[in-house]
Chains A and B, each alone.
Chain A
Amino acid sequence: ELKVEQNPLFLSMQEGKNYTIYCNYSTTSDRLYWYRQDPGKSLESLFVLLSNGAVKQEGRLMASLDTKARLSTLHITAAVHDLSATYFCAVDDGGATNKLIFGTGTLLAVQP
């Protein structure tokens, strides 16, 4: 059974600082997704990582995937208040379907 763990669960950081959110998963998968959710809103797709070694960047966020270590990271560079949100990773369960197993999320609060 695929399990997905994120850490930390809560992250308070100052503007301008760098930090990394980690996503570990328990069984083999080649597809991993990062989503952002603002309070009371739906999920917004940030990154789709489809192969080992995949790295994608958008603005101050960069995501990477290491399928051998079963680890993805979401790196935040020079955080700004607008990045405050909950970030989820989700892993494809590896079967012939699009079933996603989500991590519990990381609540990011960027303080001025």
Chain B
Amino acid sequence: NAGVTQTPKFQVLKTGQSMTLQCAQDMNHEYMSWYRQDPGMGLRLIHYSVGAGITDQGEVPNGYNVSRSTTEDFPLRLLSAAPSQTSVYFCASSFFGLGTRDEQFFGPGTRLTVL
């Protein structure tokens, strides 16, 4: 049971480049989400999904796209990277629904630098 995995661990991009951050989980969790962590600002929700084919925006969605074609995978796409997107990105997953133990499990993170 690998839990939540993220690739890559580190990435450097130039302004305007695009890339996809990968996230996968093997716990059969319905709920998956992406956060970014910036110094002094805690974690902020970018996008989330409550199941395959269903996604929605979080607090800071601009500049990011997501899709959820399978239960296991939830990639985050940066279409045209900007220096303001320099951050550490965390993917998380959990079971979904009231009455469940909806503790969220976090992946190891991707440290992204945009020059």
Contacts and interface: CB of A to CB of B under 8 A. Distances in A.
Interface of A: 4, 9, 31, 33, 35, 41-43, 45, 48, 88, 90, 92, 96-105
B25 interface: no
A98 B48 contact: yes
B107 A31 contact: no
Interface of B: 31, 33, 35, 40-45, 48, 50, 56, 58-59, 90, 94, 96, 98, 101-109
Between B90, B104, B108, the greatest number of chain A beta carbons within 10 A of the residue's beta carbon is seen for: B104
B42 A98 contact: no
B42 A102 contact: yes
Contact of B42 (A92, A99, A103): A103
Contacts, number: 59
A100 B104 CA distance: 9
B42 A88 contact: yes
Nearest to A98: B31
Nearest to A47: B103
Nearest to B43: A102
Contact of A33 (B33, B42, B59, B104): B104
Contact of B94 (A35, A43, A98, A105): A98
14 contacts: A4-B42, A31-B102, A33-B103, A42-B109, A43-B43, A45-B105, A48-B101, A48-B103, A98-B96, A98-B104, A99-B48, A100-B45, A103-B42, A104-B40
Given A31-B102, A97-B50, A98-B31, A42 B42 contact: no
B58 A42 contact: no
A99 B108 CA distance: 19
A104 B106 CA distance: 17
A105 B42 contact: yes
Contact of A97 (B48, B103, B108): B48
Nearest to A92: B102
Contacts of A90: 43
Nearest to B108: A42
Nearest to B31: A98
A75 B45 CA distance: 27
A45 B40 contact: no
